[in-house]
Amino acid sequence: MSRRTQGWAEIMGVRLFCLFAGVVLAFFAVPVRAQEAGGAGEGVGADAAMEPEADPQAEVRRKKEEAAAAKRKAAEEAAAARREADEEKRAKAKAARDAKIKAAEERRQAAIAKKAAARKAKILARKRREEEARKKRGVKGQEDIILDDETLAKLRKPEDELKREAQIEAAQVSLPSDIKLEYLWSLPLERPVSEGDIWVHGDVILLLADRSVLYCIRKRDGVPMWAIELGDAPLYPPAVGKRMVYAFVKNSFMGIDRSRGEVIWQINPGFSPSATPCVSEPYLYVPAWDNRVYAVEVCATKRVFESDRLQNPFTSVEHRFRKLWHRTTGGYILGTPVLNDGFLYFASEDGYLYAVGQDGEDRYNAQTQGPIRTPVTSGDANVYVGSADYSAYAFDRLTGRKRWVYPTGSHVNSAIYPDVRGGVALVCSNKNGIFGICDRAAPEQGTPYWHIPDAVSIAGVSPDFAYLILSDKRLAAVQKKEGTVQWVSLLDGIRSLVPTMNDWTRPDEQFRLICLTESGHLACLREAKESVRRALEARQ
């Protein structure tokens, strides 16, 4: 072999050896890399496993931060709510001021309208007189005034009717046009009031608004005397005496000064009243749910507090009930007792009428044939009750002897009204209308004078008429003696009528009808003798 060939063989052998070595190294390098990769993974897992747990202090700090953030958010919401409440309060105050300004403006406009209406009525009356005078003279010519039909119709109306219409128009009160009662006064009500929250007592009207504010209004002219916050609605209608107004609120009796409207005392009676008390100041006769009538007296105890630390001593007055006596019956007493000439009369569900002296001494018991759930009324000679045996009773006031009994055919659902001067007792039954019963000391006593079957309630009684509400929502004026219907009026514009009864001790008291109008007024209508006379003459 030549030298050149041998060199080439050596070069090729070296190359083959390098190639073989490279293949061997590549073959063994693959599992090593896989093992290193696995080892690296295990190292990472080990490192992760060896990492320390979360710091508890950091968790506490996180919770504190969250609580602080929630607290800040709550504070922001409370501040926003306070701002909203303040804005609402300011809005209400502004609305109240605007309402007062509007009310003052309305009163001013009403006064202007009243003067204008009165002036218009005078002008129409003068024109009517001038027209009548011209007709009498028979004068026709250029001096005659051409009037339209509406003006002529107004001129033909009597002057008092023109005045009444002008007054109603000026006061902006909605009243029936055909009612034969004279408009006297009206009082706009800012808040809605139901007829069950208005009570007429003698010369005052008590009105409850918003279930807790008691107003006292003078009946003769509609002037509000005072208003007081009771804190809640009275459980029974308030009672009125010569000096005080008595209301049962939240299990306590309140004594309110009648002239000033100030609460003088508030007493827990120690028993649960079942009806409005009978007032004979300083005594109260209170029916209770324990089937008793309590006679109590309001006593005042003065205490003078003196001390070295006090420069001026002060006096405290404490009031309490002193129980004088009580009388027990066999059932609940659901009506107000009546005091007449030293006798106290009350009735019970046991069916008896009780007469007790003011000293607590029993006088007599008079029995009916059913429970008595209506108040007792008294006249000069008799005591009247309506029983659940569908009958009306009259007992002698001094002896308890039965004077008469009349079957009505249904429950007597209200107090019997005795007309002292007319000798008639008005009995209202539940389903059979209203009866006028003869109450004179004669053989025919207890017999019906008249019967109006479609009458449902008594709105009021005057010396000559009984004003009855009919089932079709009309008002009828009925002669008390004959029972003849003198006039009937629709109640357009009147939402409800407040029952108004004359005091039986003053039968000649002038009648006034209190009503709630749809225009939101408390209105008073008076019996106009001239209007009644013209109505009677028109029917003849």
Contact (Cβ atoms closer than 8 angstroms) between residue 372 and residue 353: yes
Name which of 422, 430, 380 is nearest 403 in CA terms: 380
Specify which of 37-41, 128-132, 294-298 reaches the highest per-range mean pLDDT: 294-298
| Banded pLDDT at 54 (limits 50, 70, 90) | low
Q: How far apart are the first and last CA of the chain?
A: 176
Token readout for 478 is 């009925």
Q: DSSP letter string over 74-126?
A: HHHHHHHHHHHHHHHHHHHHHHHHHHHHHHHHHHHHHHHHHHHHHHHHHHHHH
d(CA 488, CA 539): 12
Distance CA 473, CA 467 (A): 13
Q: Return the amino acid letter for 516.
A: L
* Whole-prediction pTM: 0.67
Q: Taking phi first (over 0 means left), then psi (-120 to 50 degrees means alpha), and beta for anything else, what does residue 231 get? A: left
pLDDT of 38 above 90: no
Token readout for 223 is 């002037």
Instruction: Write down the pLDDT at residue 349.
Output: 94
Q: What average pLDDT is seen over the chain?
A: 80
3-state secondary structure of 67: helix
CB 433 within 8 A of CB 448: no
Q: Mean pLDDT lowest for which of 274-288, 361-375, 492-506, 524-538?
A: 524-538
The pLDDT assigned to 64 comes to 83
Domain assignments of the chain as residue spans, ordered by start: 77-133+149-172, 182-539
Task: Specify the pLDDT at position 48.
Answer: 43
Residue 521's CB is within 10 A of a number of other CB atoms, namely: 22
Length of the chain: 540
Q: Which H/E stretch holds residue 155?
A: helix 149-155
Instruction: State the pLDDT confidence band at 29, using cuts at 50, 70 and 90.
Output: low
The CATH superfamily assigned to 182-539 is YVTN repeat-like/Quinoprotein amine dehydrogenase (2.130.10.10)
Q: Is the pLDDT reported for residue 503 higher than 70?
A: no
| Element at 536 (helix H, strand E) | helix 529-539
Q: Please check the confidence at residue 5 and state whether its pLDDT lies above 70.
A: no
- Average pLDDT (514-522) is 87
* Sequence-ordered alpha helix ranges (H) in 148-282: 149-155, 159-171
Please tell me the distance from the alpha carbon of residue 144 to that of residue 137, in angstroms, as a whole number: 12
Percent of the chain with pLDDT over 90: 34
Q: Which residues contact 159 (CB under 8 A, 6 or more apart)?
A: 121, 125, 128
Q: Which of 35 and 446 is assigned the larger pLDDT?
A: 446
